[in-house]
Amino acid sequence: MKNTIATFQAQKDKGEKITMLTVYDYSTAKLMDQAGINGILVGDSLGMVVLGYEDTIPVTMQDMIHHTAAVCRGAKNALVVGDMPFMSYQVSVEQAVENAGRLMKEGGCQAVKLEGGAAVCPQIKAIVNASIPVMAHIGLTPQSVHSFGGFKVQGKSEQGAKKLLEEAKAVEEAGAFAVVLECVPAKLAELISKELTIPTIGIGAGAGCDGQILVYQDMLGMFSDFTPKFVRRFANVGDMMTEAFQTYIAQVQEGSFPAEEHTFAIADDVIKKLY
Ligand code: KIV
């Protein structure tokens, strides 16, 4: 059954945890979908884990549409959320609506995500009014990495914690159907989750959130440039891949691959005529 923003809300209301992961391609989306994930985020983290940039700033609308469309072809049941890249919604409300519309129309996702609190509420309202569901994202918002002075936990001081609670209420009031809490102290994230009617999806925000999300390369041990404290490795796929690549190289070099069963036959008399 297709997950929707209504099923997300029903899960929160029933106290059932919402499961989300990021994905950027067709075949991984298909595997995740078959595993029964509730939601998939085509995150702009693709800038770092797929495209090799240092941060998410260079990611374009074209990148996001391209990868969102691939993921949507593989995800039949998961709710697919497309991430709005840096400078695709900050300049004006009109531009935000236009780009959210492109992500849904050309990418095929069922919702979009954008970073920020009160400052982007006019954008959230306008996008929601255009019938595009919006997932908000507060706390450590990676597109603001240069304003924060690095990837840092948010909301630790009294003032910072109050501000985060206000931001969470503001995005709910603006019409967001859910909000990502990234790198927020666990007790604060739990409080925000209780105060809000809409689901909170945590990443580095503790178990008190209504759902969880991780970058899939992090949880599979496929990305070693940097591993945040909040990541648990559920498998060492990176090591398995390296081992498989090394075995392939060795077998090709020694001539044991391809073997007879990997080849296509041709009648001997056809070959003889070629000599
Ligand atoms: O881009 C992304 O992957 C995200 C998640 C970390 C929530 O925004």
pLDDT the model gives residue 177 = 98
Instruction: Decide: 42 and 84 in contact? Cβ < 8 Å.
Output: no
Domain boundaries, the chain: 5-236, 240-272
Report the nearest atom of ligand 1 relative to the CA of 44. Answer: 1
The active-site residue, picked from 115, 182, 190, 260, is 182
- For domain 5-236, the CATH class is alpha beta
Which atom belonging to ligand 1 lies closest to the Cα atom of 56? 1
**pLDDT value at residue 235:** 97
Please say whether the dihedral angle defined by the alpha carbons of residues 153, 158, 159 and 161, taken in this order, is positive or negative.
positive
| Phi, psi angle pair for 239, to nearest 5° | -65, -40
Query: For residue range 10-69, what is the model confidence (pLDDT) as tens digits?
Result: 999 999 999 999 999 999 999 999 999 999 999 999 999 999 999 999 999 999 999 999
Q: Which of 16, 5, 14, 50 is nearest to 216 (CA)?
A: 50
pLDDT (0 to 100) of residue 20: 98
pTM of the complete model: 0.96
What pLDDT is recorded for position 245?
A: 98
What's the pLDDT at 262?
97
What is the number of alpha carbons within 13 Å of residue 205 lying toward its C-beta? Answer: 31
Measured between alpha carbons, how far is residue 238 from residues 21, 80, 222, 224 in Å? 17, 25, 4, 9
Residue 87: which region, alpha, beta or left (left: phi > 0; alpha: psi -120 to 50)? left
- Of 55-69, 80-94, 189-203, 220-234, where does mean pLDDT reach its minimum? 220-234
Give residue 151's pLDDT.
Answer: 85
Average pLDDT of the segment spanning 209-236: 94
pLDDT digits (tens, 9 = 90+) for 243-263: 999 999 999 999 999 999 999
Q: Which amino acid is at 201?
A: I
Query: How many whole angstroms separate alpha carbon 265 and alpha carbon 275?
Result: 18
Q: What is the pLDDT of residue 149?
A: 87
Atom of ligand 1 nearest to the CA of 180: 7
Given this model, what pLDDT does residue 226 score? Answer: 81
Q: How many Å is the Cα radius of gyration of the chain?
A: 22
Active site residue 182: yes
Phi, psi of 87 (to 5 degrees): 75, 15
Based on DSSP, count helices (H) and strands (E) in the chain, helices before strands.
12, 8
- pLDDT score of 16: 98
User: Distance (Å, rounded) from C-alpha 166 to C-alpha 152?
Assistant: 19
Question: pLDDT tens, 83-142?
Answer: 999 999 999 999 999 999 999 999 999 999 999 999 999 999 999 999 999 999 999 999
Residue 149 region by backbone torsions, left for phi larger than 0, else alpha for psi between -120 and 50, else beta: left
Distance 35 CA to ligand 1 centre (A): 20
Task: Judge whether residue 227 has pLDDT over 90.
Answer: no
Residues in the ligand 1 pocket, defined by CB under 6 Å: 22, 41, 43-45, 83, 137, 180, 182, 203, 213, 215
Of residues 91, 209, 199, the one with CA closest to residue 136: 199
How would DSSP label each residue in 133-172?
A: -EEEEEES-GGGHHHHTSS-----SHHHHHHHHHHHHHHH
Residues 6+ apart with CB under 8 A from 210: 11, 12, 17, 18, 193, 199, 200, 201
Residue 225 has pLDDT above 90, yes or no: no
Ramachandran angles phi, psi of 37, nearest 5°: -65, 145
- Identity (one letter) of the amino acid at 82? G
**What confidence score (pLDDT) does residue 152 get?**
86
Residue 150 has pLDDT above 90, yes or no: no
